[in-house]
């Protein structure tokens, strides 16, 4: 869920009141259909009345000539965010046992004319007035720029599947602060309670669809919990649904005045519960800094308003510093948000920020690193979108040190300068569902890297995520979508989508709901050519490759653990030991520290000659700017295996040609600070 900061998508002006809120932002069951078909993709029973699908032809099955699955990936969607934020922010449901008239109806406070549709006029401008009637007329919603109405009705998802989509990540989402300040709600604001409900309803939707096809396991909507299961679902031509989590305070891990409100035990308990629910990917922070990591800022007026929310939630404003690399967080800017700022205590003002200080000082915390490593142990994939540059850099360092591929960027919130590191690890990247011109432009910028690493591409629709979607290009636009058109595989014919009395046309309506995803892909093809769509069609294989590699990842044997350690010097302290063994004891809370001078060394005796191919150095704040890694079989004759003159601290991974060695020495040449050299942990690996 995201509400600002993406390129290529023009936003409507929103009121300052809206910004604060954004911050703190038929019969029972299916009945026999008179047009029941015998083909496997046509249900034998469907609720009557219901939406049309408007796709003909058999969905593609099996694999291509290379044995790879095919299909599109939506790496970021929110099927059940109508159950988030107190249950009244997003109106309508993805399905209802009582039928479409019950599922696609507006929130009670939107009747009779939208006068009390507070969040609607907050996000869509104007006075919020609209026709609240959904089924069967749909005069004013769903629409590409209406952020408060259901876009994920199950039949619309079915149309996307029929149009070639084969993977859908359903991010269970909520925000306790938005829930607490929104005027209308019918339930409490505990984030985990909402996450549990959304997970349950996803399984309920699977059962609802199964009934149309004759029983358990027979429908096209299949929740999967491992990559092999997902691959088989896609091979059968069905939709593999993966559960993810995007919330601001996972496991209760908020921070107040920089004091964490959770513990390692809370993180373990939370990860275990999520994994048991079927969750396989998640964000660790979103919008507000929390006890796990700092966020990538929102910008402009909205950024100021969210910064107010940050203060109200945590007791601290965002803090910035100059970036140390090419990556940067979004600029906060000095735009005012008067109504939001009125909520601040007397005498408290939003700070000003230097234009050249665009990075969040808050990175990955100790608890955050514990959570990252906990996800690795459970073979889960980590979403780095919304993480600050500092936090993202540390995550990528950790994953590179462990050769862990489970990293995802699902909706264009990552600095593009991270792209090659993500692909180098074996991770997966999807772009936000921008308008076709913007989508093609961003895809073109990273095309060479996809070619280099032989990977496919994805999109993140973020529907029901309060983000806004592609506007219509116009009936007279160049290369407009012409109906009907063929699916990318050529096996289906897709016409304009009709629900009730309303028929949508992407050219004049934009991407109003999920059923128009195939139409949008056709628009991308017409604007950008077949090549970008071919990359998208390879998305399912690439996503499942990342997932499978995460599942099969094995922690490397650390040859340094417990090895005999010595050093040129060790800092003395009356209260704490900084002796050499402290850097190979497996505890990242301890460290070795040298005297405060440049020429220092740290040496390990592995006990016997081993093949050494990689050394990892987890620096404390006192790091080496210039140093080399030396190897020896006898402790007398040394050869340099790796060196740098531009070390910047953090977690360094040095890889080199495998070399037999019993002794490993880190020879410090030039310090990065006025202190000495200090290492939390040293790792030595054969692979």
Q: What is the pLDDT of residues 617-665, one digit of tens each?
A: 999 999 999 999 999 999 999 999 999 999 999 999 999 999 999 999 9
User: How many domains, in total, are found in the chain?
Assistant: 2
Question: How many other C-beta atoms are found inside a 10 Å radius of the C-beta of residue 272?
Answer: 12
Residue 31 lies in a domain: no
Distances (CA, A) of 439 to 7, 152, 444, 459, 479: 9, 21, 9, 9, 15
As a whole number, the mean pLDDT across the chain is 92
Residue among 124, 23, 86, 1 at smallest CA distance from 344: 23
Same domain? 531 vs 624: no
8-state DSSP, 6: -
What is the spatial distance between Cα 360 and Cα 603, in angstroms, rounded to a whole number?
A: 36
Residue 49 lies in a domain: no
Same domain? 521 vs 601: no
- Residue-wise pLDDT for 187-214, tens only, equals 999 999 999 999 999 999 999 999 999 9
Same domain? 492 vs 417: yes
Domain boundary among 520, 552, 584: 552
Residue 111 lies in a domain: yes
Same domain? 470 vs 590: no
Same domain? 494 vs 581: no
The CATH number that applies at residue 574 is 2.60.120.260
- Residue-wise pLDDT for 263-310, tens only, equals 999 999 999 999 999 999 999 999 899 999 999 998 888 788 889 888
Beta strands in 206-343 (DSSP E): 221-223, 239-247, 255-256, 259-260, 279-283, 320-321
Residue 13: predicted pLDDT: 39
Same domain? 530 vs 571: no
Per-residue pLDDT band for 124 (boundaries 50, 70, 90) equals: low
Same domain? 110 vs 216: yes
Task: Evaluate the CA torsion angle 40, 45, 49, 50 in order and state its sign.
Answer: negative
Residue 469 lies in a domain: yes
Instruction: State mean pLDDT over 591-608.
Output: 97
Residue 346 lies in a domain: no
Domain boundary among 493, 522, 552: 552
Same domain? 595 vs 500: no
Please answer whether residues 526 and 559 qualify as being in contact, where contact means their C-beta atoms are separated by less than 8 angstroms: no
What is the spatial distance between Cα 615 and Cα 190, in angstroms, rounded to a whole number?
A: 43
Beta bridge partners of residue 617, listed in sequence order: 652, 682
Same domain? 460 vs 530: yes
Q: What number of CA atoms fall less than 13 Å from residue 123's CA on the CB side?
A: 26
Same domain? 111 vs 234: yes
Residue 556: predicted pLDDT: 85
Domain boundary among 552, 587, 603: 552
Residue 244 lies in a domain: yes
List Cβ neighbours of 399 (8 Å cut-off, separation of 6 or more). 376, 405, 406, 407, 425
Tell me the residue range of the domain where 102 lies.
Answer: 72-294+362-552
Residue 115: predicted pLDDT: 82
- Residue-wise pLDDT for 411-458, tens only, equals 999 999 999 999 999 999 999 999 999 999 999 999 999 999 999 999
Residue 177 lies in a domain: yes
Same domain? 535 vs 593: no
The CATH number that applies at residue 485 is 3.20.20.140
Beta strands in 394-541 (DSSP E): 407-409, 428-432, 458-460, 485-486, 493-494, 497-499, 502-504
pLDDT of residue 9 exceeding 50, the answer is no
Coil, helix or strand at residue 310:
helix
Residue 32: predicted pLDDT: 34
What is the spatial distance between Cα 119 and Cα 635, in angstroms, rounded to a whole number?
A: 70
Residue 324 lies in a domain: no
Same domain? 384 vs 474: yes
List Cβ neighbours of 495 (8 Å cut-off, separation of 6 or more). 54, 55, 483, 484
């Amino acid at each position: 869920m995201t509400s600002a900061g993406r390129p290529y998508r023009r936003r409507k002006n929103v009121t300052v009141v809206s910004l604060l809120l954004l911050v703190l932002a038929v019969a029972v069951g299916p009945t026999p259909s008179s047009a029941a078909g015998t083909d496997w993709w046509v249900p034998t029973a469907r609720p009557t009345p219901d939406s049309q699908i408007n796709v003909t032809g058999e969905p593609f099955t099996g694999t291509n000539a290379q044995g790879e699955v095919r299909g599109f990936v939506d790496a970021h969607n929110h099927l059940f965010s109508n159950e988030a934020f107190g249950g009244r922010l997003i109106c309508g449901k993805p399905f209802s046992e009582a039928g479409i008239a019950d599922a696609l109806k507006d929130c009670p406070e939107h009747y009779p004319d939208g006068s009390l549709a507070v969040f609607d006029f907050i996000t869509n401008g104007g006075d919020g007035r609209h026709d609240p009637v959904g089924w069967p007329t749909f005069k004013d919603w769903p629409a590409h720029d209406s952020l408060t109405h259901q876009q994920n009705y199950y039949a619309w998802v079915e149309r996307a599947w029929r149009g070639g989509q084969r993977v859908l990540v359903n991010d269970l989402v909520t925000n306790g602060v938005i829930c607490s300040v929104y005027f209308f709600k019918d339930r409490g604001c505990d984030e985990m309670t909402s996450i549990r409900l959304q997970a349950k309803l996803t399984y309920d939707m699977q059962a609802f669809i199964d009934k149309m096809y004759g029983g358990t396991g027979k429908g096209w909507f299949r929740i999967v919990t491992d990559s092999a299961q997902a691959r088989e679902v896609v091979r059968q031509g069905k939709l593999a649904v993966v559960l993810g989590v995007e919330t601001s305070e996972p496991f209760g891990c908020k921070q107040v005045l920089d004091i964490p409100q959770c513990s390692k035990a809370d993180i373990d308990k939370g990860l275990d519960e999520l994994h048991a629910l079927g969750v396989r990917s998640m964000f660790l922070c979103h919008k507000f800094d929390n006890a796990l990591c700092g966020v990538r800022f929102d910008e402009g007026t909205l950024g100021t308003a969210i910064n107010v929310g940050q203060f109200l939630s945590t007791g601290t404003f965002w803090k910035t510093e100059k970036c140390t690399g090419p990556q940067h967080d979004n600029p906060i800017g000095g735009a005012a948000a008067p109504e939001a700022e009125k909520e601040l205590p007397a005498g408290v003002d939003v700070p000003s920020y230097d234009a050249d200080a665009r990075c969040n000082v808050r990175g990955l915390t100790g608890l955050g690193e514990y959570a990252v490593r906990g996800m690795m142990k459970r073979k889960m994939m980590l979403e780095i979108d919304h993480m600050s540059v500092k936090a993202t850099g540390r995550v990528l360092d950790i994953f590179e040190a462990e050769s862990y591929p489970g990293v995802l960027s699902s909706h264009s919130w990552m600095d593009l300068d991270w792209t090659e590191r993500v692909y180098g690890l074996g991770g997966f990247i999807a772009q936000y569902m921008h308008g076709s011109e913007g989508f093609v432009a961003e895809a073109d910028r990273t095309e060479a890297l996809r070619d280099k690493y032989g990977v496919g591409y994805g999109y993140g629709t973020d529907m029901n995520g309060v983000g806004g979607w592609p506007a219509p290009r116009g009936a007279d636009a160049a290369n407009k979508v012409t109906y009907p058109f063929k699916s990318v595989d050529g096996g289906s014919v897709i016409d304009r989508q009709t629900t009730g009395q309303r028929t949508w046309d992407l050219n004049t309506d934009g991407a109003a709901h999920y059923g128009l995803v195939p139409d949008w892909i056709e628009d991308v093809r017409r604007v950008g050519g077949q090549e970008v769509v071919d990359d998208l069609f390879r998305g399912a294989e690439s996503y499942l490759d990342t997932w499978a590699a995460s599942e099969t990842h094995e922690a490397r044997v650390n040859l340094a653990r417990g090895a005999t350690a010595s050093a040129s010097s060790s800092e003395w302290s009356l209260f704490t030991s900084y002796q050499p063994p402290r850097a190979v004891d497996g505890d990242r809370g301890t460290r070795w520290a040298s005297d405060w001078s440049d020429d220092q060394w740290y040496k390990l005796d592995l006990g016997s000659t081993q093949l050494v191919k990689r050394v990892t150095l987890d620096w404390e704040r006192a790091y080496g700017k210039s140093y080399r890694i030396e190897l020896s079989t006898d402790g007398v004759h040394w050869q340099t295996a790796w060196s740098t003159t531009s070390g910047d601290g953090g977690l360094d991974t040095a890889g080199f040609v495998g070399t037999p060695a019993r002794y490993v020495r880190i020879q410090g040449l030039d310090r990065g600070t006025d202190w000495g050299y200090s290492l939390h942990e040293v790792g030595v690996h054969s692979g």
